[in-house]
Amino acid sequence: MQQSALLEMKGISKSFPGVKALDKVNLTVRRGTVHALMGENGAGKSTLMKCLFGIYHRDEGTVILDGKEVEFHNSKDALENGVAMVHQELNQALTRSVQDNLWLGRYPKIAKIMVDEAGMAKKTREIFDTLGVTVNPKAIMSSLPVSQRQMVEIAKAVSYDSKIIVFDEPTSSLTETEVEHLFRIINMLRDKGCGIIYISHKMEEILRISDDVAIMRDGQWVATKPASELDMDEIIRLMVGRELTNRFPEKTNTPQEVILDVKNLSGKYTRLKDATFQLRKARFWALRVWTVREELKYWKICLV
């Protein structure tokens, strides 16, 4: 049976000075489904979600949530009305505890004035137990690896008991086991009847987790199809707007001089370890591939 529409975004446009980031974009998310949103970097995916979440104000278009037209003025408004979002960029209070981060702005109170520390710890444990998250609620955020901080962010979004949850590139800093864990959480939310919007570059992931796939290109909506009718070649064709007969063509350019030489670069809060690479003039696009190996294929594809 075809599930009913839980969220409809129609004709959404948004411009920034000099850039039309969204041009009459449509998106319909059905109840109890995972809706993937795909497109090259800069296609407008995050902007569309920020328009939904009240971070940006759309220039035109309508948003209908559960049959009612809505316009959220800020993210608090969105959260209180059934839309949560896990952002691409983590924005957490690093010097505060995990549970502080979870309840910031909505602390449980005693007699409306005192923060109910015990109540907060209990609620945090309950949410973490339901989701199978093993992070210590008392740990200071900055002491956690980025993947655990990401799991806290995911737990926080889920804790609002929202109708729609947006995951904007959630797996870029997660380990394989954590990705499996996230997928179990997403399946649980789907079974509860939530609508999930899932943004990722990783096509294997998309084809595994999603029911529908919407594709955007240059700020425009290109197509929405059931994931079962798509394969990687078709997704790429829709994303870049032309046939790709040879995904990895022979290089024909002559490498130019080295302008950046990085040796053994490691990050304290990332999985980056001993990265060594050279950046040559006119090859600036290659920089990102060194941190996330799975994206290597994608970036090559985009730049064919």
| Tally of residues, the chain | 304
Q: Give which of Mg ion, ligand ADP, none residue 16 binds (C-beta under 5 to 8 Å, depending on kind).
A: ligand ADP
d(CA 181, CA 174): 10
Pick the closer one to Mg ion by CB: 83 or 166: 166
Pick from 39, 54, 137, 170: which binds ligand ADP (CB under 6 A)?
Answer: 39
Sole window of 43-51, 60-68, 112-120, 202-210 interacting with ligand ADP (rule: CB under 6 A):
43-51
d(CA 62, CA 93): 33
Q: Is 21 in the site for ligand ADP (CB under 6 A)?
A: yes
Q: Is 41 in the site for ligand ADP (CB under 6 A)?
A: yes
Q: Is 92 in the site for ligand ADP (CB under 6 A)?
A: no
Q: Report the nearest approach of Mg ion to the CB of residue 20 (Å).
A: 16
Q: Report the nearest approach of ligand ADP to the CB of residue 52 (Å).
A: 12
Q: Report the nearest approach of ligand ADP to the CB of residue 303 (Å).
A: 15
Token pair of 48, please?
Answer: 């569309």
Q: Is 47 in the site for ligand ADP (CB under 6 A)?
A: yes
Q: What DSSP string describes 73-94? A: SSHHHHHHTTEEEE-SS----T
Q: Report the nearest approach of ligand ADP to the CB of residue 45 (Å).
A: 4
Phi first, then psi, for residue 16 (nearest 5°) are: -110, 165
Number of Cβ within 10 Å of residue 32's Cβ equals 17
Sole window of 16-24, 114-122, 155-163, 262-270 interacting with ligand ADP (rule: CB under 6 A):
16-24
Pick from 6, 43, 79, 155: which binds ligand ADP (CB under 6 A)?
Answer: 43
Q: Is 46 in the site for Mg ion (CB under 5 A)?
A: yes
Q: Is 200 in the site for ligand ADP (CB under 6 A)?
A: no
Q: Is 217 in the site for ligand ADP (CB under 6 A)?
A: no
CB-based contacts of 266, cutoff 8 Å, min separation 6 = 272, 273, 274, 275
Would you say 255 and 282 are in contact if contact means Cβ atoms under 8 Å apart? no
Q: Is 34 helix (H, G, I), strand (E, B) or coil?
A: strand
Distance of CA 46 to the CA centre of its chain: 8
Measured from each CB, the residue nearest to Mg ion is 46
Q: Is 42 in the site for ligand ADP (CB under 6 A)?
A: yes
Q: Is 202 in the site for ligand ADP (CB under 6 A)?
A: no
Q: Give which of Mg ion, ligand ADP, none residue 19 binds (C-beta under 5 to 8 Å, depending on kind).
A: ligand ADP
Across the chain, the runs of DSSP E, i.e. the strands, are: 5-16, 19-30, 33-38, 60-65, 68-69, 83-86, 109-110, 114-115, 164-168, 195-199, 212-217, 220-226, 258-265, 275-280
Pick from 3, 16, 74, 255: which binds ligand ADP (CB under 6 A)?
Answer: 16
Long-range contacts of 101-109 (CB under 8 A, 24+ apart): 101/141, 101/152, 101/156, 102/127, 102/137, 102/152, 102/155, 102/156, 102/159, 105/76
Q: Is 240 in the site for ligand ADP (CB under 6 A)?
A: no
Token pair of 206, please?
Answer: 């998309």
Pick from 6, 9, 27, 44: which binds ligand ADP (CB under 6 A)?
Answer: 44
Which residues sit at the interface with Mg ion, rule CB under 5 A?
Answer: 46
Chain positions contacting ligand ADP, by CB under 6 A: 16, 19, 21, 39, 41-47
